[in-house]
Amino acid sequence: MSSVSHRLDRFIARRLSISNRAVRELLVQKKIMLDGEVASLMNQSIGMFTSVVVDGEVLQHCDPVYIMLNKPRGVVSATKDDRHTTVIDILDYPQKHELHIAGRLDFNTTGLLLLTNDGAWSKQLSLPENSVNKIYRVSLKEPLTPDIIIKYQQAFTAGVHLLPENITTRPATVIMLDDHTVELTICEGRYHQVKRMFGFFQNEVLELHRLSVGNIVLGNALALGEIRALLEEEVRLVCL
């Protein structure tokens, strides 16, 4: 999936500084290969992950990358920051500077963070109509009871009104794990949303850990700061 596409003839003409007529001649001579196959149309659309080889010269070859990181506390979800360590700084990956973050986490929030070079894929994660669930484990300052959880669930189902944006959160679910910990499922990611939702009840969030995004589950295999490539099935099914 690519967020940018080009017409084949314009792409080759620009990269090789040749005319469209010259591109057509290369096409007729079957010297243009796309993903290992002979190209047949001048106006064929190519994306950033399309392999383009012209007369043996590689003009473009870029593989899509999808990585999960178990983000530690005190790390900024950014590619650059002059004051703080970023997730890119701690990433053990050769082409890490080609990646962007698909769904940020707050400075002190830990857990599942996704990074990719595929803009179309990351956009799908953030589209409201896709309603991609994010599940968090939330540690709270004030003790909980089943009755309190019922109040939380009623409010979160109806939506919590957030100021100054003057918006109401989309329906969320909350499950009590113990007397200070809940599992919260939301399908959006507004600024400090989880902290503000519980702040509505004057209950401070002490720790916040993201467990999953869509069908991608962090699990227990990765230590804080470690990464792994997503499985093909995880990439394909994340928004389903």
196 three-class SS:
helix
Residue 227 corresponds to which tokens in the numbers above? Answer: 């990464």
- Residues recorded for the chain: 240
Cis status, amide bond into 164, omega within 30 of 0: yes
Residue 80 corresponds to which tokens in the numbers above? Answer: 């650059």
Query: What's the pTM value of the predicted model, to 2 decimals?
Result: 0.87
In angstroms, what CA-CA distances link 26 with 13, 15, 34?
A: 11, 14, 13
Report domain extents, the chain: 5-60, 66-237
Q: Which of 63, 82, 92, 106 is catalytic?
A: 106
Write the DSSP assignment of 131-195 as a string of letters.
---EEEEEEESS---HHHHHHHHHHHHH--EETTTTEEPPP-EEEEEETTEEEEEES---TTHHH
| CA angle in degrees (0–180, nearest 5) for 204-188-184 | 45
Residue 74 corresponds to which tokens in the numbers above? Answer: 């005190």
CA 24/CA 211 separation, integer angstroms: 52
The CATH H-level (homologous superfamily) assignment of domain 5-60 is: RNA-binding S4 domain (3.10.290.10)
- Topology match between the domains 5-60 and 66-237: no
Q: How crowded is residue 57: how many other Cβ atoms within 10 Å of its Cβ?
A: 10
Looking at domain 66-237, which CATH architecture does it have?
2-Layer Sandwich (3.30)
Tens digits of pLDDT across the chain (240 residues): 445 688 999 999 999 999 999 999 999 999 999 999 999 999 999 998 999 999 999 999 999 999 999 999 999 999 999 999 999 999 999 999 999 999 999 999 999 999 999 999 999 998 888 999 999 999 999 999 999 999 999 999 999 999 999 999 999 999 999 999 999 999 999 999 999 999 999 999 999 999 999 999 999 999 999 999 999 999 998 876
Residue 223 corresponds to which tokens in the numbers above? Answer: 């230590």
Active site residue 178: no
